[in-house]
Amino acid sequence: MRDDLRIGIVGLGQRSVLADLVHRPGAGSGVTACADPDPTARARAEGRFGSRTHICDSYLALTDRGLDAVIVTTPDHTHEDIIVDFLEAGIAVFAEKPLATSTEACDHILDVARRTRTRLYVGHNMRHLPVVTTMRELIVQGAIGDVQAVWCRHFVGDGGDYYFHDWHADRSKTTGLLLQKGAHDIDVIHWLSGSVSRSVTALGGLMVYGGITDRAHRPGQSVQDWYDRENNWPPRSLRGLNPVIDVEDLSMMLMRLENGTFASYQQCHFTPDYWRNYTVIGTEGRLENFGDEVGARVEVWSRRSGYRATGDRSVAVVDTAGGHGGADVRIMSEFLGFVRDGGPTLTSPVAARDAVAAGCAATASLRAGGSPATVRPTPPEVAEWFADGQA
């Protein structure tokens, strides 16, 4: 049996739950070091990972701890420097999405990974989400012919609780929620259509949360300190928001993809329900998901008719245990295999970069009143190198 992979974790906030999934001492991998500037987060770390885990306040102290890999789940604006430092140290990196908050930062990260030949993996876990993989399989099987259009409506029902109490609400740390939250869906749209965005336009605004004047958020608080689905409703009743709120809570994006497919993405952070709805239209039919985790199904329409609530084919989505319908478990398993052996994965650093590039261009369009924006492609030599699987 191989020795356990030695894993580090930088950032002990909400998404650091991913580290718990790889902490399996004696079974292939274990968290041996972690870093976070927040003393409260550090105090909880020993109980999570054991007394032998090295706990510190600076991620730089982890670069010489003999780690095989590190998981980076820090605020978005910190990703570039942290990821680059670990790549330069020759330590494989799992970067939570989005890879960075600008196209230029993403390109810098990819350049360093290619130059140092250090393995880079980006946490686009929705490529492992059962409802998405079900739709992808149907498309590949030819269930709706050639894809011509993809529509995504993203109802972010807990948006106020998750994104307007802390750093997410500050564009200097996110660029905007069209990128921060939308990176997942933009990547899925690209994956389902088999192409990437080349031209985008967007509209949107700060419709609800900007009018709330109670900005009493205290540094060091986490989502668990304020989240209350039962009582934090309607959205304008929220209190204790972030002092800076300058990101949009409603956005609508149109995309023209390189292969000629058209797509749209709509995001709202004050709906009562929380889920994603995808419609994919091809030359021989269309498919649509109803629900996106437990109990979800995908309906496929392939013959002409009037309104029908169910399609000609109904496919139940099979979830497994773990966060995001089992996607978190699957993505961390894929990451561990990638650290050991390299090779192709469902996720892709280049695709992650392309999602950021589209999200940044759309945010610029939105803030310019909807002016069309061109999405700069990944340099071909970079895309070619990563296509070989970083083996």
Of 352, 340, 388, 328, the C-alpha closest to 121 is 352
Tell me whether residue 45 is in a domain. Answer: no
Looking at the structure of the chain, the number of domains it has is 1
- Per-residue model confidence (pLDDT) at position 320: 76
The pLDDT mean for the chain works out to 95
- Per-residue model confidence (pLDDT) at position 322: 76
pLDDT tens, residue by residue, 86-123: 999 999 999 999 999 999 999 999 999 999 999 999 99
At which residue do the structure tokens 């600076």 appear? 58
pLDDT band at residue 2 under the 50/70/90 scheme: low
Return phi, psi of residue 285, to 5°: 150, -170
> Does position 79 have pLDDT exceeding 50, yes or no?
yes
Report the alpha-carbon distance of residue 330 to residue 258 in Å, rounded.
30
Query: If you average pLDDT over residues 31-38, what whole number do you get?
Result: 96
Tell me whether residue 342 is in a domain. Answer: no
- State both tokens at 67: 């780690």
Tell me whether residue 30 is in a domain. Answer: no
> Does position 220 have pLDDT exceeding 80, yes or no?
no
Query: If you average pLDDT over residues 57-81, what whole number do you get?
Result: 97
> Does position 1 have pLDDT exceeding 50, yes or no?
no
pLDDT band at residue 325 under the 50/70/90 scheme: confident
At which residue do the structure tokens 């099979």 appear? 318
Tell me whether residue 27 is in a domain. Answer: no
Could you give the percent of the chain with pLDDT greater than 70? 99
pLDDT tens, residue by residue, 300-323: 999 999 999 999 999 999 977 777
Tell me whether residue 339 is in a domain. Answer: no
pLDDT tens, residue by residue, 345-387: 999 999 999 999 999 999 999 999 999 999 999 999 999 999 9
Of 189, 126, 155, 116, the C-alpha closest to 272 is 155
- State both tokens at 132: 């998405």
- Per-residue model confidence (pLDDT) at position 218: 75
**Is 251 within 8 Å of 155 (Cβ atoms)?**
no
Domain that holds residue 228: 127-327
pLDDT band at residue 224 under the 50/70/90 scheme: confident
Tell me whether residue 137 is in a domain. Answer: yes
pLDDT band at residue 234 under the 50/70/90 scheme: very high
CA distances from 334 to 113, 290, 337, 344 (A): 19, 27, 5, 10
* Three-class SS state of 309: coil
> Does position 180 have pLDDT exceeding 50, yes or no?
yes
- Per-residue model confidence (pLDDT) at position 389: 84
pLDDT tens, residue by residue, 9-23: 999 988 899 999 999
Query: If you average pLDDT over residues 59-84, what whole number do you get?
Result: 97
Tell me whether residue 66 is in a domain. Answer: no
Report the alpha-carbon distance of residue 93 to residue 105 in Å, rounded.
16
Of 66, 151, 79, the C-alpha closest to 109 is 79
Which alpha helices (H) appear in the chain, and where do they start and end? 17-22, 39-49, 79-88, 103-116, 130-140, 159-163, 171-174, 177-180, 182-193, 223-226, 327-341, 349-367, 380-387
Report the alpha-carbon distance of residue 26 to residue 16 in Å, rounded.
21
Direct distance between the N- and C-terminal alpha carbons of the chain, in angstroms, rounded to an integer: 22
pTM above 0.75, yes or no: yes
Tell me whether residue 379 is in a domain. Answer: no
Residue 256's contacts (CB-CB under 8 Å, 6 or more residues apart) are: 197, 198, 199, 200, 262
Q: Which CATH number characterizes residue 245's domain? A: 3.30.360.10
Length reported for the chain: 391
